[in-house]
Structure 1
Amino acid sequence: MVWQFCIMAVSQRTVLAFKSYQNQAGVLVKNYLLADPFIPYTSVLAGVLAFKLVYDLTQLISTFNFRSYNALTKTQRIDWNNRGVSTLHAIFTSIVSLYFVFWSDLFSDHDFAGLIILRSSPLSTFALGISVGYFISDLGMICWLYPSLGGVEYIVHHSLSGIALAYSMFTGEGQLYTFMVLISEVTTPEINMRWYLDMAGLKRSNAYLINGVAIFVAWLVARILLFVYIFYHVYLHHDQVMQMHAVGFLLVLCVPVVLAVMNLMWFGKIIKGLMKTLAKRQ
């Protein structure tokens, strides 16, 4: 009886101690890590740490589950792991961006909570910080192994994206247009899958052909037509855009234009690649 009483007492103390630590952790997260002044810094750090975690998990899972992975060179394995991170980031940021642009009331024209280009929230700022952390990490990898993971165009793309994201995150300006541009990340998983299929020796498979068609459709919608919509939206709200800080104004105008030109160049290569693949099938 005494023995059972002691066990119950110890169990209750353990539960109380756990709840106490849980409450303290909750207070720490609420008052410091997710407090408005600290969100940009904690979110960027979370993005960098997530990059490292997913990179290591991709390496671990691929080593034991994909025979083609072990046959790759060191640089190709790094690229393989890196694409695993970019795929997960693309899925995350695409879902978040679609939510804020099309479903959230934060940037709704029917909401009279001030200018659209000046609206932000702790959640939207945190989401942008995650992407900033990713772009910093990925840009570091590209520069470290240059040009194995990408040429100058990738450095330009990541640098412009990172600068625009960071500005929008810290100032709260133009977050709507930042999320609109981030929707284009929906094409990244298809691009990475094409590379994976190539490395696995499945370049002549039906999956490779289907993937090529998926890239064409996704790119047309998310990186061509979407940018037309962005420019049209900027035109409709030019009176608000003109009220932004000079830096934000230039970023809203210049970054989408540069990215749109790069998207058109890449789209031309996608069309040529798809036509070449289809020609081989005939």
Structure 2
Amino acid sequence: MSMEVSQKTVMAFKSYQNQAEVLVKNYLLADPIIPYTSVLGGIFACKMVYDLTQLISTFYSRSYNALTKLQRIEWNSRGISTVHAIFIATVSLYFVFWSDLFSDQQHTGLITFRHSQISSFSLGVSVGYFLADLAMILWMYPTLGGIEYIVHHSLSAIAVAYAMFTGEGQLYTFMVLISEITTPEINMRWYLDTAGLKRSSAYLINGVVIFFAWLVARILLFAYMFCHVYLHYDQVIKMHIIGFLLVFVVPSALATMNLIWFGKIIKGLKKTFAKRQ
């Protein structure tokens, strides 16, 4: 009797599993609606992470409970950006350096037009994040960031959305999104400062990590991307004029901002070392 119940349970589970796979394949990952489901999924994920950050911090962080309402909102918001950064940086590193999708050895069309369901879905989740975070920045302006954050998020959302909807230039979009790997360190700096640990060894170590991560992901990687564009210019020139401009304008604007911020990081690191001598 128990064996029959067990078999029925297994069969029921497999039935639900098959239905779920059909739902994901035919609807959630169907080419025409991937952009919409992924963006909505990204926005929903932001709300979920915000609530989880709030819940976990309330029970496990003494510093959180001592914050003002505005500081708690920023604390939770940075939890969202940290999770998004880990997700999109991991996906981007995979597609740029390990996946065969954008490999020069592949002969399945121009590299600037290659895309897949998973790559487009991943970009859609990122668009959802940028839209949600931009909405929060505008709502709380200027508490969560000044005009530079609005410019950064707006350019990012436009470029990523274009690559997602058209399938053009996704390789270069992922190259730029690798720079999000610096976000968790930036957020950790704010968390440590807010928790009153600005003079701790953790704060100093985090500052050094920010310097090297920024140098690699936001300076050297952008230089690599521009070299890649130059070497594949014969393929880049065949993109639509909007995609062609986005490949040059958005990364150039972000690279300029990265250099300005890198200068501030160097000054801040120098001050921190000077105070410890």
TM-score range, shorter chain: over 0.9
1:222 is aligned to: 217
2:123 is aligned to: 128
1:251 is aligned to: 246
Q: Which has the larger radius of gyration?
A: 1
Residues of 1 paired with 2:115 and 2:240: CA distance?
A: 16
Residues of 1 paired with 2:270 and 2:16: CA distance?
A: 60
Give yes or no for the alignment of 1:42 onto 2:37.
yes
Residues of 2 paired with 1:13 and 1:175: CA distance?
A: 45
Residues of 1 paired with 2:239 and 2:24: CA distance?
A: 32
| Deviation for aligned residue 1:23 | 2.3
The code of the aligned residue for 1:204 comes to R
- Alignment partner of 2:71 out of 76, 101, 111: 76
- Alignment partner of 2:186 out of 186, 191, 204: 191
Give yes or no for the alignment of 1:115 onto 2:89.
no
| Deviation for aligned residue 1:213 | 0.7
Mark the runs of 5 or more structure 1 residues left unpaired by the alignment.
none
Mark the runs of 5 or more structure 2 residues left unpaired by the alignment.
none
1:54 is aligned to: 49
Structure 1 segments (4+ residues) deviating >6 Å = none
- Alignment partner of 2:86 out of 74, 87, 91: 91
- Alignment partner of 1:158 out of 137, 153, 156: 153
| Deviation for aligned residue 1:22 | 3.0
For 1:251-270, what aligned pairs fall within 5 Å after superposition? 251-270=246-265
Aligned length: 277
Q: Give the share of equivalent positions with the same residue, in percent.
A: 77
2:19 is aligned to: 24
Identify if the C-alpha distance between structure 1 residues 55 and 240 changes in structure 2 by more than 3 Å, giving closer, same or farther: same
| Deviation for aligned residue 1:29 | 1.5
TM-score w.r.t. the length of structure 2 is 0.97
Residues of 1 paired with 2:71 and 2:245: CA distance?
A: 37
Tell me the SS of whatever aligns to 2:26: helix
| Deviation for aligned residue 1:10 | 5.8
Two-structure CA RMSD over aligned residues (Å): 1.3
| Deviation for aligned residue 1:116 | 0.4
Give yes or no for the alignment of 1:138 onto 2:133.
yes
Residues of 2 paired with 1:229 and 1:23: CA distance?
A: 43
- Alignment partner of 1:202 out of 182, 197, 203: 197
